[in-house]
Amino acid sequence: MNQETIQTATTRKKRVFSGIQPTGVFTLGNYVGAVRNWPRLQDEYDCIYSVVDQHAITVRQDPAALRRQTRETAALLLASGIDPKKSIVFVQSHVPAHAQLSWVLGCFCPFGDLTRMHQFKEKSAKHPEDINGGLLTYPILMAADILLYQTDLVPIGIDQKQHLELARNIAQRFNGVYSPTFTMPDGYIPQVGAKVMSLQEPEKKMSKSDSNENAVVRMLDTPDAILRKFKRAVTDSEGCVRAAQDKPGITNLMSIYGVMTGKSFADIEHEFDGRGYGEFKQAVAEAVIETLRPIQEEYARLLADKAYLDSVLTEGAVRADALARRTLSKVYKKVGFLQL
Ligand code: TRP
């Protein structure tokens, strides 16, 4: 190794890549499990965050709404603390290499690996009228997202683990057929990712697409709405604030309160000893409102400044494009595409 390679090998920070779909407003669950952790990774890693609009069209989207939500999602990432001076933030469709690499990787992915994906099975059951090719090849595009940037770590929820596994299989196959081309990505599942459950059916995960709005707290809900939803949260008849397996409602509220305030279950039980659920719910709601307030304010400010927001996305796309091209060009050479 010459001096320069040694230098880059030791100083290169690990790369983090994650994608988020511009559909629906993030829930408190997305915040706690994902978004909240992203800014913390920025100092330690080279982070790239993409608003994955190409993934979103596997189900029909209203074009104007998709455009609007793409900006909104980017604004929410920035408002949550992602700093465009430290990280790259860009829109997937602005970097053509994603679609280009995706075609090549598709030719290295057995059909059967795609049809056995849980998400494909669930989504095709949910939309039997539109089981399109994109729904099936979705994880190939996701593999392209990850592999284009020689990603080391991919922050994801547990539901995306199978897709990441598929990306690793594709990378391994390609590297085996040719020569090492892609970095093997690992999942990064945050330790303090306390799973947020539905406020109405606390045995179920809080879901973006729940039809019962009372079950879901969204990052952009008004303080009144947040308070109302917590007041209506399903609990139990014991009347004692303590965590237990047979008290999923209260346990969920305790874990939300714990994440917002940094308090342990023991601290919380002590704090609310002898006090009723009404008071506890009020405290949880207030903690959530205060945590979200600065994010909501910054979000409103950013959306009012489209020129700034768009300049961040433009610069993000330029930087991502330069990195992505390097990998794509290696791949094109290896598979034998004629380069003039
Ligand atoms: N499939 C992911 C989800 O629905 C979004 C996504 C697309 C993603 N590309 C990615 C996540 C690359 C991590 C890395 O949540």
CATH code of 251's domain: 1.10.240.10
Q: Indicate whether 293 and 317 sit together in one domain.
A: no
Domains contained in the chain, number: 2
Q: What is the pLDDT, as a whole number, of residue 194?
A: 64
Q: Indicate whether 23 and 94 sit together in one domain.
A: yes
CB 202 within 8 A of CB 252: yes
Query: Ligand 1 — pocket residues by CB below 6 A?
Result: 17-19, 21, 52, 55, 142, 145-146, 154, 156, 160, 163
Q: To test the ligand 1 pocket, which listed residue (122, 138, 163, 165) has its Cβ within 8 A of the most ligand atoms? A: 163
Asked about 13 being catalytic, the answer comes back as no
Would 231 be classed as within a structural domain?
A: yes
Packing angle between helix 277-303 and helix 63-79, nearest 10 degrees? Answer: 110
CB 167 within 8 A of CB 185: yes
Low-confidence stretches of the chain (pLDDT beneath 70): 1-11, 190-194
Q: Indicate whether 97 and 146 sit together in one domain.
A: yes
Task: Please give the Cα distance from 154 to 170 (Å, whole number).
Answer: 16
Q: To test the ligand 1 pocket, which listed residue (17, 20, 27, 58) has its Cβ within 8 A of the most ligand atoms? A: 20
Would 110 be classed as within a structural domain?
A: yes
Cα of 199 from ligand 1 centre, angstroms: 25
Q: Indicate whether 153 and 278 sit together in one domain.
A: no
Would 202 be classed as within a structural domain?
A: no
Give the global pTM. 0.90
Q: What is the pLDDT, as a whole number, of residue 7?
A: 43
Asked about 205 being catalytic, the answer comes back as yes
Would 36 be classed as within a structural domain?
A: yes
